[in-house]
Amino acid sequence: MSYPGYSSAQPYPAYGYAPPPTLAPAQHAQPHVDPFRTYYASRLRELTFNSRPLIQDLSMQAMAQRDQNNWDRMQMVVEEIEQAVLRAPPQAKLPILYLIDSISKNIGAPYTTHLLPPMISRMYPAVYREVDGVTKSKMEEMIGLWRTSGPDGGDLYGPAVREAIERGIFGSIGYQRSAAPPLSRQQVLSVLNATLEAKHRESAARPWDQQARAQVGVLVQIGEVVNGTQVSQAELHQIMDQLRAMNAGPMPVPTPTSTPPFNQPPPQIRPQPQYGQPSAPSLPPFPPSIPRDTYRGPAAPHRASSGMPSVPTPPPASSTPLPIAPVPVNPLVNLPINVADILKNLSEKGITSGKQQTPEPAVKPKTALEQYEDMILSLDVTLNSLDLNAKHALPLSHLSRRCHQCSKRFPEGDQAKFDAHMDWHYRRNRREHETSGRGAHRKWLPRAEEWINDFSVPDAGPSKSSTQSANSLSLPTALTPARVAELQLKSVPVPQDPTKASQPCPICKDVFKKEWDEVEEEWVWRNAVRVKNDKIDRIFHAVCREEQRNSRLASRLAKQGGRGSTSMSPGATPIPDFGAAKRKAEENKREDDSEAKRVKVEEEIEGAGMQEGAEEQRNGEGVKEGDVPGAEGVGAAGSVANISDVTGVPEVVVKVELPEEEAVSIPAEEHVVLPSNADPVDGSAGEDQIMSDAVAAAMEVAS
C-alpha cells in the first residue's frame, strides 16, 4: 500500500500556508505494516461518496478493535482516517467526516475520549478551510450536533475539544499560542479533573469524611466556573496555584498544546505544540508573539485581589486585527460568579493547606472491598428505618475493572480474581466450541446432603464444584479431566472419501468437526481416533472410544468378579457420558483397586466395536496386551497410527506385561503399529513423543 506508515509530521508550515488539497503520503514509513492497517486504508479509499454500508462497515471494524481492546489498531484506525481526510479531495472529505461521526457516536469511548480528540481538533479546522460552502455548512451543522451527542447529552468529545475546533473554524485563534505559555483553560481543567478524581476517591474511601466531601463540592463548583464562564488569566492562575497546593505531589502540568491535556496523546503521534493551530488561508498570518503577557505576571494578582466578580475576559484574539466571528461558546458567559469567593471558600475548607490530605494516617491501605464495606456502613441505611424514597445509586465505583465479555465487575487490584474469570471465559468458550452438539444434558439434582456440603467460595464463575457432585451416580467409566483433555487433542486427517468424511462417530452418532491444523497444514478432526483393521475402518471420537472401552472393561470385570460395586449394573449399556469426565479420578482408582480386576478377561466385544473381538482373536493370536483402565498414554497413543500408510511394513505388536500380571486384553485398535524405521507416520509432535515412549517402554518390558 502506498501509505504504509503514519506520520503526524506537520505536512505544512504552521502559519499562513494553505495545505495542498492532496497531501504527500507519510514520509516516515514504518518498517512493519500491519495487514489490518493496509486493509482499513484501502477500504477508506473507497469512501469517496456518502455510502452508508461502507461507513457502517468501517465503524464496525473500528468497534471490533475496541472490543478486542486492541489499542494499536484503534490508533491505526484513527491515523488512517486522518490520512484519508487530509488526502481526499475537498468534495470527498465529508463522507470520511461522517465516518468519524459514526464511530464517535456508535462506539464512543475510547475513540471519543482518547483517540479522536487530538486528531480531530487539528484536522477539522484544516479541512473546514479547504471545502466549499455547502460542505462548510454541513461541517458546522455537525459540530453543532456534537455539542449534545455525548454519552451524557453533553459534548461528544468534551467541551475543550469542541471549543478548540470552534475556535479553529470560527476564528478565535491563538489563544494558547504565545511566547511564554499562559494558562489555558484546558490545562486548568485537566489539573482540576485530576484533583477532583483524587478527591472523589478519597471521599469514597472515607465517606464519613465531611471535609473531603466538601472539597469535592467546591472543586465541582470551580469546574463549572472554569468550564462555563470566561475566566480571566489571573483567575486561572490563581485556581491553578490553589490546585497545585492541594495536590501534595507535583502535578504534571500539561504542555500547552491544542490537544486537550487529559487526552493522552497517542503514542505514535509526536507532540507538536504548533500542530493544527488553524491558519486560515484566507486570513492574514497571525503574529506568533501576540502580547499575551498582559494577562500574566504582576497583573494577575491585582485582578484577583480585587475580589471582583468574574469579568468576562475579552477574547484574546480580539486584540488582533482579525475579523472574527464571535465565539459561540456557552450561554453562561455573563453569569457573575465570584471566583475569588470560591477560592476563599477553598482555603476555608482547608483545601489549600496541602497538608490535610491524610487526616487519619492509614496503617495499611484498605482494599477496594474494605472501602466498599465502610462506605455501605457509613450510608447507614438500615432495615429498621428504611426510607425507600431516599435517592441512592447502586455503588459500583469500587469495582473499576470490568469484564468486557459479560459485564462482570472486579475490584481494582484483584488481578488474580480477574484473571481467573478471564480464564473461565476462555475455558468455557473453548469448551463450548468443542462440545457443541455433543449431547449435553441436564443433570440430576443433588441430594440434600451433597448440596449442603458442596459450597465453594464463588470466584471465577458459576459454581464449578456443584457440577461434580450433582450426579451421585458413578459410572465406572470415569475419565480424568487430564485424560479427556489429552484425548481431545487427538486428531485424524479428514478422510478424502466423501462417504467416510460424512460418517458420524459410531458411538455417539455425532458428526465430527473439521478444524485446520496449523502444524500439519491440513484439515483434521479433533478428538478423533481411527480404528482400522481388516473388518472395520471407522473413525471414533477419542473420548467416546475411551469411555466405551473403559465401561466395557468395567462391566466385564463386574460380571466376572461376581460382586462388583453396587453402582454397577450388569446389563448396562455403556453410554457415553460426557459428564463422567468431570468426576473424580478416585473413582477410577477405586475400580482399579477392586478385586475383580484381577480376573483375567477374555475379550468379547459387543456394541459398536462389533467385529473387533473376533478380529482380535484371530489377529492377535496368543498375544496379550496389558492395559489398565486409566493407564494413560500407552494404549491410546497408537490408535492414531494410520495403518494404510504403512502397508507392507512389518508390524510390531507391542506387548506390555504389568508387574502384577493384571493382564486385560484390549481391543484390536490398540496395537501399536510402527513402520520398521520406528518413525511414527501420523500424529502431532506430542503424540510422536508419547508413542515413542510407549514403544520404548514396551520394548523394554518385552525384552
Partner 1 sequence: MAETSNQQIFIDLEPGSEWRFELEADENIAARVQSPNPVFINSDELPPVTWYPLLRHLKSSIYAPSYAKLEVSALPISQYTSTSTTQPQLVALHLALERQRILAKRHISGGPSNGQGYSNGTQPITRGPRVMVLGPPSSGKTTVVKNLINMALSSGMGWSVGVAGLDPASPANLIPGSLSLSTPSDPLPTHHLAHPLGSPPGSVPSSSTSADVSTLGWWFGHLEPTTRGTDVWRKLVTSVGEAWTKRCDKDVNALASGLIVDTSSAFINPMLGTRKDDPKARYSLVAQAIDTFSIDTLVVIGHEKLTIDLERLLSPRGVRVIRFPKSPGAVDLDDAAREIAHAQQVRAYFYGEPSIPREFEKLMGRMTVAEAGFSPYSFQIGWDTLTVLRVGEENAAPSTALPLGSSRILSPTRLTRVDPSGPAHVTRLLNTVLAIVAIDKQDRIPKIKPEATTDNIKIETQSTEAVDVKIENPVDNEDGQPAEEGEGEQEEEAGDAQEQEDAEDEDEVPYIEEVGWREVLGFIVITGIDHQKKKYTVLAPSPGRLPSTVALAGSIEWVDTE
549-588: contacts with partner 1 (CB under 8 A) = 566, 569, 571-573, 575, 577-579
> For residue 409, what are the contacts with CB-CB under 8 A and spacing of at least 6?
396, 399, 400, 401, 402, 403
How far is it, in rounded angstroms, from Cα 564 to Cα 560? 8
Of 500-529, binders to partner 1 (CB under 8 A) are: 509
SS (H, E, C) 546-576: HHHHHHHHHHHHHHHHCCCCCCCCCCCCCCC
> For residue 60, what are the contacts with CB-CB under 8 A and spacing of at least 6?
none
Of 249, 250, 331, 393, the one binding partner 1 by CB under 8 A: 393
Which region, judged by CB under 8 A, interacts with partner 1, from 10-18, 305-313, 396-404, 615-623?
396-404
Q: Based on the shown chain and the rule CB under 8 A, indicate whether residue 606 belongs to the binding site for partner 1.
A: no
Q: Based on the shown chain and the rule CB under 8 A, indicate whether residue 485 belongs to the binding site for partner 1.
A: no
Is 372 or 512 the residue whose CB approaches partner 1 more closely? 372
How far is it, in rounded angstroms, from Cα 320 to Cα 459? 64
Is 221 or 435 the residue whose CB approaches partner 1 more closely? 435
Size of the site for partner 1 (CB under 8 A): 107
How far is it, in rounded angstroms, from Cα 203 to Cα 359? 12
Among 160, 76, 176, 90, which residue's Cα sits nearest to residue 126?
Answer: 90
> Which residue type occupies 470?
A
How far is it, in rounded angstroms, from Cα 247 to Cα 258? 24
**Site mask for partner 1 (CB under 8 A), range 75-114, x = bound:** -----------------------xx-xx--xxxxx-----
Q: Based on the shown chain and the rule CB under 8 A, indicate whether residue 426 belongs to the binding site for partner 1.
A: no
For cell 428505618, name the residue: 385
Q: Based on the shown chain and the rule CB under 8 A, indicate whether residue 447 belongs to the binding site for partner 1.
A: yes
Of 10, 19, 23, 60, the one binding partner 1 by CB under 8 A: 60
Task: Identify whether the C-beta of residue 80 lies closer than 8 Å to the C-beta of residue 115.
Answer: no
Is 478 or 637 the residue whose CB approaches partner 1 more closely? 478
Shortest distance, CB of residue 240 to partner 1, whole angstroms? 29
Is 445 or 482 the residue whose CB approaches partner 1 more closely? 445
Shortest distance, CB of residue 504 to partner 1, whole angstroms? 10
Q: Helix or strand or coil: residue 490? A: coil
Task: Identify whether the C-beta of residue 658 lies closer than 8 Å to the C-beta of residue 605.
Answer: no
Q: Based on the shown chain and the rule CB under 8 A, indicate whether residue 390 belongs to the binding site for partner 1.
A: yes
Shortest distance, CB of residue 376 to partner 1, whole angstroms? 5
Of 136-155, binders to partner 1 (CB under 8 A) are: 142, 145, 151-153
How far is it, in rounded angstroms, from Cα 682 to Cα 643? 10
Of 46, 67, 595, 602, the one binding partner 1 by CB under 8 A: 67
Is 355 or 427 the residue whose CB approaches partner 1 more closely? 427
How far is it, in rounded angstroms, from Cα 256 to Cα 103? 28
Of 291, 395, 481, 686, the one binding partner 1 by CB under 8 A: 395
Shortest distance, CB of residue 325 to partner 1, whole angstroms? 24
Shortest distance, CB of residue 475 to partner 1, whole angstroms? 8
Of 406, 416, 511, 699, the one binding partner 1 by CB under 8 A: 406
Is 142 or 327 the residue whose CB approaches partner 1 more closely? 142
Is 175 or 512 the residue whose CB approaches partner 1 more closely? 512
For cell 452438539, name the residue: 437
Which region, judged by CB under 8 A, interacts with partner 1, from 57-65, 276-284, 335-343, 665-673?
57-65
Of 188, 343, 470, 698, the one binding partner 1 by CB under 8 A: 470
Of 91, 444, 522, 602, the one binding partner 1 by CB under 8 A: 444
For residue 472, the tally of other CB atoms under 10 A from its CB is 13
Task: Identify whether the C-beta of residue 136 lies closer than 8 Å to the C-beta of residue 170.
Answer: no
Shortest distance, CB of residue 262 to partner 1, whole angstroms? 16
How far is it, in rounded angstroms, from Cα 313 to Cα 335? 12
Which region, judged by CB under 8 A, interacts with partner 1, from 160-168, 379-387, 525-533, 539-547?
379-387
Which region, judged by CB under 8 A, interacts with partner 1, from 15-23, 161-169, 450-458, 690-698?
450-458
The C-alpha angle 578, 583, 586, rounded to 5 degrees, equals: 140
Among 20, 21, 38, which residue's Cα sits nearest to residue 29?
Answer: 38
Q: Based on the shown chain and the rule CB under 8 A, indicate whether residue 369 belongs to the binding site for partner 1.
A: yes
Shortest distance, CB of residue 396 to partner 1, whole angstroms? 6
Q: Based on the shown chain and the rule CB under 8 A, indicate whether residue 383 belongs to the binding site for partner 1.
A: yes
Q: Based on the shown chain and the rule CB under 8 A, indicate whether residue 462 belongs to the binding site for partner 1.
A: yes
Rg (CA), the chain: 37
Give me the long-range contacts of 137-145 (CB less than 8 A, separation at least 24).
Answer: 138/94, 139/94, 139/97, 139/169, 140/169, 142/97, 142/101, 143/169, 145/101
